[in-house]
Structure 1
Amino acid sequence: MLKLFKHQEEAIHLYKQKYGRLYLNWETGTGKTIGALAIANAHGFKSLLVVAPKSSHLSWATEKEHFNNMMLEIITYEAFRDKYDSFTKYDFLIFDEAHRLKNPSAKVTKKAIEYAVAEKLPPRIMLSGTPADRYYELYSQLKVLNPQDKTFTKQFPSYTKFINFFYYLNDYYKPERLRSNTYEKWLKEWFLDYAHVVKKEDVVELPPLVEIPVKFPKEKIDIDVEDFSIYTVTTFITEFRKSVSKQKMGWVVDFLEDNPNTIVFCLFKEPVEKLKEKLGDKVYLITGDYRKDFDNALRRQDKPIVCTYALKEGANLQKYNNVVYLAPPLAYRDYQQSLARVYRTGQDKKVSVYKLLQNSIDFKVYNILKNKASVYDFLRKE
């Protein structure tokens, strides 16, 4: 019989206390999948639809085996957007990685809001370890969860009114900063009306996590990144791409030869494609364009994975215990989620994280990530 953690039991009761409007803001690796299915099971739901990234479908299918009395269909956000117009055969809906609904202008978000407002969606919950980098990203997610909230029906029926009230806007009419410090408290409390917040260190005993900086001699490509305002996203990415040097690539090749239980993450697909070309069948390759190795990598976990951040969500890869960042992501959310593929419930080995450092741009990016921020926030011309 499946034994739930305390926070998973709490969520079952919270679902009722919050009148079915629950957002599981559980850090990646704390059992969101089991928790969501346990909520559905405890409250008598039998026909479930899960909207989730493709990378997490195997995990949902596997965990569903603990609940044989439920029917479960798993689809992608793209399928939800393009292929589904009726949800009457489902009695419960789960949005996994619900931060994918943070952009109110995206087609998938517009559809989710439209159907929620029209009461064409079944009872639902939202799941994400990283709901928002900025408070305004909560607006559309919570509107999908509970469009009857007075925030939407009376105060701010449109996203435009919402951001104009709470934020100073830049020249491109994008939110730049809150108009008042008191608004931060209000927005946080608004989210907590729906959220069950769970941190990994509070509920899961995990083995040690060790960060190992691997430093290389500087190259001539080194650039001055002290003043981010001189860069656009495009020019910064161009410079950052150069930081994936031959020395770093050579180190990774040598490391993988002796450490098969390793995942290599890189912001750019060309370097991981070159690693695959050099190492052949000794590694699995996963990028947004190349998914041929995906299923075998998740099921077998028997040789190194070289990948972009296409693998940052959904996959459970606890058989690996080395993570190498050939080029780190530019947002803390992506860093946290990629690391959580390995460092999560079920991991019983020490996890080593290797950060390859060579030029000032590498150190600058890691300092930003250390502060749980996004490089994009520093590119003021975006």
Structure 2
Amino acid sequence: MKEAIKLYKHQEEAIEFLEKRNLKGYIALPPGLGKTLIVASLIKKYKPKKALILAPKSAHQVWKKELERLEVPPQSYVLYTYEKFISEHKNKFNGNQRSVPYYTDFLVLDEAHRIKNIKAKTTRLLLSYGKCRIPKVLLSGTPFKEIIDLYTQFFVIDPSILGRWKEFIDTYFVRETNLFGGVEYVPLDGSREKILEKVSPYFFKKERDEIKELEKIEVSYTFETPFQYSWEAFKSEVAKSIYEELRDEYGDDFSLEDFSEEEFLERFAEEIKGEFIKFYRLAEINNKEKHLFIKEFVSDYPDTVIYTFFVEEALILSKMFDCYVITGKTPFKEREEIVKKQDKPIVITSALSEGANLDQYGNLIFSTIPSSPIRFAQV
């Protein structure tokens, strides 16, 4: 008989939290704190007939590992990616609020922040589970970037928490028209706090520093790149330069209303590609001093993960020292094998920022900055 798996105190607290709420809630723990094991333990304990687990492909190996460790029968759950779920079941859902695309008696959404867009097909499909009286557990280390992102996620848990969409928007936001004639929802003063207060009874959230059983993460070294930038300032400058170019082309009576969003975004993308990516990429992939530092560091500390935004830099580093490299082109089976081994440094891009459990590694180096705050937190 296998030895019982010991849970950390915060994991036991999360289980107790969900049990007090009829197994409906949101576990918002930072990456690496065992969210998967928490839910796998609940599936083992409550023995659903068919648990439906939606998770990124990169997280599937972790789910399978934890469920196998707990000896959960494979026939008692089904593991989907969000993409596969919608492709297989979108035609089974007729839009009726009383119907669901797939029967389950225990719903799990891993990286639940993926369903923040209320107009997306996947989101609309999953909102149909809102009125189902079944256990529903959502997981994410990065639940929201904008406070409005929480609406769809908590609607799945229980539609009564934040109410109907129109009521929610009218209460907490003001509608504003953007440059392209589209609608933006701007939070009213105090809305963020009020929304968080509404969802807090279903929201289990702890920061890593609050958990005494775990070792503290320390930033021991910061390597300054010669390329310094402010992303918001850069975007503002790009938009300003494009606007000035358009005025030169169309005259002083030029109005953005007469200019297509597609053409503006095309120019914006070209400007980004021509300026930001060009200079940032060159600065980073040619930063030999930084690369030598990384090489020396991993020779002393092989239990290190190195993140880079650029595939070219990943390949440069792989030629400097013995390591694994995972990019978007790395076959999934090969990724699984690398994550299983964890016996030498890994250089990753954003392709492995979600779901992979690299718990044997003690060090993380950001060779470049991720493309967004949420991506930064996930890595």
The alignment's TM-score, normalised by the length of structure 2, stands at 0.75
User: Which residue is equivalent to 1:187?
Assistant: 195
Cα offsets for 1:98-128 (capped at 9, x unmatched):
1111122322212212x32575x95321011
Residue 253 of structure 1, CA deviation: 4.9
Structure showing the higher helix proportion among its residues: 2
Instruction: Work out whether 1:198 is the aligned partner of 2:211.
Output: no
Residue 52 of structure 1, CA deviation: 0.7
1:52–1:76 Cα contact (<8 Å) kept: yes
- Write the letter of the residue equivalent to 1:61: K
Change (3 A) 1:112 1:272: same
- Write the letter of the residue equivalent to 1:291: P
- In the TM superposition, 1:304-319 aligns within 5 A as 304-319=345-360
Match of 2:113 among 99, 124, 127: 99
Match of 1:6 among 6, 9, 13: 9
Change (3 A) 1:169 1:209: farther
Change (3 A) 1:117 1:3: closer
* Count of matched residue pairs: 325
Residue 247 of structure 1, CA deviation: 2.4
Return the alpha-carbon distance in structure 1 between the equivalents of residues 350 and 231 of structure 2.
23
User: Which residue is equivalent to 1:227?
Assistant: 233
2:155–2:162 Cα contact (<8 Å) kept: no
Change (3 A) 1:73 1:163: same
Measured on the aligned residues, the alpha-carbon RMSD in Å equals 3.1
User: Which residue is equivalent to 1:346?
Assistant: none
Residue 22 of structure 1, CA deviation: 0.6
Match of 1:54 among 45, 54, 57: 57
Change (3 A) 1:167 1:154: closer
- Higher-Rg structure is 2
Match of 1:79 among 84, 105, 112: 84
User: Which residue is equivalent to 1:354?
Assistant: none
User: Which residue is equivalent to 2:140?
Assistant: 128
Cα offsets for 1:229-248 (capped at 9, x unmatched):
10357423444323314224
Residue 179 of structure 1, CA deviation: 2.3
Residue 24 of structure 1, CA deviation: 0.8
2:173–2:186 Cα contact (<8 Å) kept: no
Match of 1:152 among 164, 184, 193: 164
User: Which residue is equivalent to 1:321?
Assistant: 362
Three-state SS of the structure 1 residue aligned to 2:26 is strand
Residue 37 of structure 1, CA deviation: 2.0
Three-state SS of the structure 1 residue aligned to 2:366 is strand
Residue 154 of structure 1, CA deviation: 7.5
User: Which residue is equivalent to 2:324?
Assistant: 284
The worse-fitting range, judged by mean Cα deviation, of 251-260 and 31-40 is 251-260
User: Which residue is equivalent to 1:272?
Assistant: 314
- Share of identical aligned residues, percent? 30
Return the alpha-carbon distance in structure 2 between the equivalents of residues 37 and 200 of structure 1.
21
Return the alpha-carbon distance in structure 2 between the equivalents of residues 41 and 49 of structure 1.
14
Change (3 A) 1:73 1:201: same
Return the alpha-carbon distance in structure 2 between the equivalents of residues 250 and 193 of structure 1.
47
2:30–2:207 Cα contact (<8 Å) kept: yes
Return the alpha-carbon distance in structure 1 between the equivalents of residues 306 and 217 of structure 2.
20
Instruction: Work out whether 1:242 is the aligned partner of 2:248.
Output: no
User: Which residue is equivalent to 1:347?
Assistant: none
Three-state SS of the structure 2 residue aligned to 1:227 is helix
Change (3 A) 1:225 1:26: closer
Residue 227 of structure 1, CA deviation: 3.3
Return the alpha-carbon distance in structure 2 between the equivalents of residues 212 and 167 of structure 1.
44
1:11–1:39 Cα contact (<8 Å) kept: no
1:28–1:200 Cα contact (<8 Å) kept: no
Return the alpha-carbon distance in structure 2 between the equivalents of residues 31 and 152 of structure 1.
33
Change (3 A) 1:109 1:226: closer
The alignment's TM-score, normalised by the length of structure 1, stands at 0.74
Match of 1:64 among 62, 67, 70: 67
Structure showing the higher strand proportion among its residues: 1
The worse-fitting range, judged by mean Cα deviation, of 7-16 and 162-171 is 162-171
